[in-house]
Amino acid sequence: MTKDLGAFRTIGELSKELNIKPHILRYWEEQFGMLQPLKRAGSRRHYRPDDVEMVRTINRLLNEEGYTIKGARKFLAARQKQARASAAPKDEIPVSEAVTPAAAPTAAPAANVNVENNAMLKELKAIRDQLSSALSRA
């Protein structure tokens, strides 16, 4: 009997399903902070669908792709950061768009980028000097 995809799984069920020993799953919980199954009475672990997917990914990274635990941690952290960035509210302007002038072409040649960067740096230094003199007067 197989469980529904959205059902919670115990550590034993997940262990059998993915052919990973329970002590390995507990070890991965220590090593990967983002893997946090629900713990019920008696410290019984119940893996949510997201946890199951995380375990599958960790297993793939470590056992199929040859990542180290440290490398897999970095990969998963980068993926989570990317997911959070893509889930940002639509009405919020991303920092990259807020800093880039609206009139600037998005795919400028390298020479133009250097000229624009130098001009922006010069403008920022002027602002810094103005703020510094205003603070010294205050």
Whole-model pTM: value is 0.59
Q: What is the pLDDT of residues 62-118, one digit of tens each?
A: 999 999 999 999 999 998 888 888 876 655 555 555 444 444 444 445 556 677 777
- What residues contact residue 66 under an 8 Å CB cut-off, 6+ apart? none
How open is the CA angle 71-95-129, to the nearest 5 degrees? 115
Query: In the beta sheet, which residues pair with residue 89?
Result: none
Looking at per-residue confidence, does 50 or 105 come out higher? 50
